[in-house]
């Protein structure tokens, strides 16, 4: 994608202007494969996506490089942006045109109003964004290097305070087309939400980012997840297995699939190297139409998605959240898995061309522009 994809800072605050799909986009939509029923239930395009997760005010410090132990370096600028993995993913899904409800917690400070307004500006339903008395809103301190790579330190604040998953929350979860979770809130909350969703036949998508630790209770949460999405570092962390090579990543993903319920998928985000979606071969034709490889005695199938090229990477902070949210939108709409991967790859390529997490997320109108590179970056099947 070269030129024409950069979001402007003056993007409309409440809702994007009406857009008209190009003929190529219309054809892609017509060719999307309807999702077949899975053990978690089939997503329904008319139902909202419910995101349960964190809210953070992101303080971004631009540095030439990270300091060595005992060293002090200077930052050239510091900017404040709305963020948090939960809030970012809710905003991304809403901007990409799907009704999105957010369940989260903020504090009693100026950042709370800032975050609520930022979500509302992205058209997210914030009725379940709770203000926690006597608590600060979560925050993140992001060290951004000229290459666009970042390192992040999180202060949980209200995200880690006492949560109450009420009956009103449970009703919203049961009425969702899918539920999207991350790991910047207590795992007990994610487990409670995932149980409610699974009992209601609602697919659960879990982004593995947010906690520098494996899953608790021998991976109990994973058993309720339909799609588990780590990057390669997170994959190593949650499995305890090496992930330096593709073969090692595939073995680690297979170990997670052995814990997940039938129909489970592992979606590995690889940054500039694209992504991979993996599932058990005996379940081919399951959740999204089974576009994967089908050779020999292989036990697992997958799709390998190339990234959409960009001319200039500015900031990768929100790219993973954007990717996962876009994949979730495609899932709820019932698209084929290859289509979900291409859509997610294109969305992430738009996101990394602007500084900040939530403010860089693309609107649907940005996605509908003709893009030959995105069209050619089709997922390829494999098996192992």
Positions marked active-site: 321
Tokens of 22: 């190009």
Q: Rounded to an integer, what distance in angstroms lies between the CA atom of residue 16 and that of residue 12?
A: 6
Say if CB 53 and CB 185 are below 8 A apart: yes
Task: State phi, psi for 80 to the nearest 5 degrees.
Answer: -110, 125
Strands 150-155 and 138-144, sheet pairing = antiparallel
Supply the angle between the helices 337-351 and 319-332 in degrees, to the nearest 10: 150
Among 67, 120, 4, residue whose Cα is nearest residue 358: 120
Please state the separation of Cα 29 from the chain's center in Å.
Answer: 21
Give the H/E segment covering residue 56.
Answer: strand 56-63
Which DSSP state fits 381? Answer: E
| Angle made by CA atoms 55, 324, 312, in degrees to the nearest 5 | 95
Angle between helices 110-121 and 85-95 (to 10 degrees): 30
Check residue 10 and report its DSSP letter: T
Going by the DSSP 8-state scheme, the letter that residue 349 receives in this structure is H
In the sheet that holds 56-63, the strands lie side by side as 75-83, 56-63, 138-144, 150-155
The number of beta carbons lying within 10 Å of the beta carbon of residue 124 is: 24
Residues 6+ apart with CB under 8 A from 26: none
Q: Is 21 exposed, middle or buried (0-12, 13-18, 19+ CB in 10 A)?
A: middle
Find the distance separating the first CA and the last CA of the chain, reported in whole Å: 32
Asked whether 250 and 300 are in contact (CB, 8 A), the reply is yes
What's the count of helices (H) and strands (E) in the chain, helices before strands?
11, 14
């Amino acid at each position: 994608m070269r030129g024409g994809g950069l979001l402007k800072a003056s993007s409309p605050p409440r809702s994007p202007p009406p857009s008209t799909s190009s003929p190529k986009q219309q054809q892609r939509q017509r060719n999307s494969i309807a999702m077949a029923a899975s053990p978690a239930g089939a997503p329904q395009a008319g139902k909202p996506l419910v995101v349960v997760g964190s809210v953070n005010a992101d303080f971004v410090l631009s540095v030439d490089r990270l300091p060595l132990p005992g060293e002090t370096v200077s930052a050239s600028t510091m900017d404040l942006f709305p963020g948090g993995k939960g809030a970012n993913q809710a905003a991304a899904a809403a901007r990409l045109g799907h009704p999105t409800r957010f369940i989260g917690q903020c504090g009693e400070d100026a950042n709370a109003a800032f975050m609520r307004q930022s979500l509302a500006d992205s058209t997210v339903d914030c009725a379940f964004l709770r203000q926690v008395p006597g608590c600060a809103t979560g925050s993140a301190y992001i060290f951004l290097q000229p290459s666009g790579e970042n390192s992040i330190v999180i202060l949980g604040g209200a995200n880690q305070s006492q949560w109450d998953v009420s009956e009103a929350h449970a009703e919203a979860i049961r009425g969702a087309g899918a539920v999207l979770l991350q790991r910047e809130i207590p795992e007990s909350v994610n487990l409670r939400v995932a149980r409610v969703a699974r009992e209601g036949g609602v697919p659960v998508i879990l982004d593995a980012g947010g906690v520098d630790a494996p899953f608790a209770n021998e991976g109990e949460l994973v058993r309720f997840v339909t799609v588990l999405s780590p990057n390669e570092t997170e994959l190593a962390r949650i499995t305890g297995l090496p992930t330096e090579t593709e073969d090692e990543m595939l073995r680690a993903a297979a170990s997670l699939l052995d814990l997940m319920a039938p129909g489970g998928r592992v979606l590995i985000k690889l940054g500039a190297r694209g992504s991979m979606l993996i599932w058990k071969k005996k379940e081919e034709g399951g959740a999204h139409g089974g576009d994967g490889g089908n050779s020999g005695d292989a036990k697992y199938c997958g799709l390998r998605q190339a990234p959409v090229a960009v001319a200039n990477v500015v900031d990768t902070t929100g790219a993973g959240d954007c990717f996962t949210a876009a994949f979730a939108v495609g899932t709820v709409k019932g698209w084929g898995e290859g289509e979900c991967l291409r859509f997610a790859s294109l969305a992430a390529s738009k996101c990394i061309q602007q500084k900040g997490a939530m403010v860089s997320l693309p609107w649907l109108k940005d996605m509908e522009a003709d893009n030959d590179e995105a069209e050619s970056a089709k997922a390829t099947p494999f098996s192992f």
